[in-house]
Structure 1
Amino acid sequence: MKVDQELDLKGEVCPYTFVKTKLALEMMEPGQVLQVIVDHLPAVENVPRSVTNEGHEVLNVGQVNDTDWEIVIRKAG
């Protein structure tokens, strides 16, 4: 899967994880893919739920290592 933009949000907590993800998506073209890396466990549930509510498609949520998670999102459009 081709990722168009990566967003490293390690060290950030909710709600900033979603706010920064939303801002990144607003700067992207419809259909582009954003990879978000988080280490705040609540963000693993909250970010996918929030972006889905905004109409975007969550392509993958998976653990990268002991502390980090990947959320892959396709921008709606």
Structure 2
Amino acid sequence: MKKVSKLLDLESIPCPLNVVKCKLALEKLSSNETLIVHLDKGEPEIMVKRALKEMKYFFKTLEENQKTIKLEFLHES
């Protein structure tokens, strides 16, 4: 089955709203989907990573530069 990626752009979204939006999007993923999240570096990145690690979500960094980071979250089977 082909993997489908959904995109969530949270650049310029303040904490903790970006954590909430990310969590809601992850809850809606089906087994063949991944979620690509764009975040600002700094507090938004730290808060999202910390909160979602605590919730046992797995992710990897796809890209990052001085201002933004792109994470890929995998659906838990």
Shorter-chain TM-score above 0.5: yes
Q: How many aligned positions are there?
A: 75
Using the size of structure 1 for normalisation, the TM-score is: 0.78
Give the distance between the partners of 1:66 and 1:21, measured in 2 at CA: 21
Give the distance between the partners of 1:55 and 1:76, measured in 2 at CA: 9
Unaligned stretches of 5+ in structure 1?
A: none
Using the size of structure 2 for normalisation, the TM-score is: 0.78
Give the distance between the partners of 2:48 and 2:62, measured in 1 at CA: 10
In our comparison, the structure showing a higher alpha carbon Rg is 2
Judging changes above 3 Å, is the alpha-carbon distance between structure 1 residues 31 and 3 closer, same or farther for their aligned structure 2 residues?
Answer: closer
Amino acid at match of 1:70: K
> What is the CA RMSD across the aligned residues, in angstroms?
2.0
Higher strand share: 2
* Residue 40 (structure 1) shift: 5.1
Deviating more after overlay: 17-26 vs 46-55? 46-55
Q: Is the 8 A contact 1:60 1:70 kept in 2?
A: yes
1:1-77 to 2 correspondences below 5 Å: 4-30=5-31, 32-39=33-40, 41-60=42-61, 62-63=63-64, 65-77=65-77
Unaligned stretches of 5+ in structure 2?
A: none
**Which runs of structure 1 show a deviation greater than 2 angstroms over 4 or more consecutive aligned residues?**
none
Give the distance between the partners of 2:66 and 2:26, measured in 1 at CA: 27
Identity in percent:
27
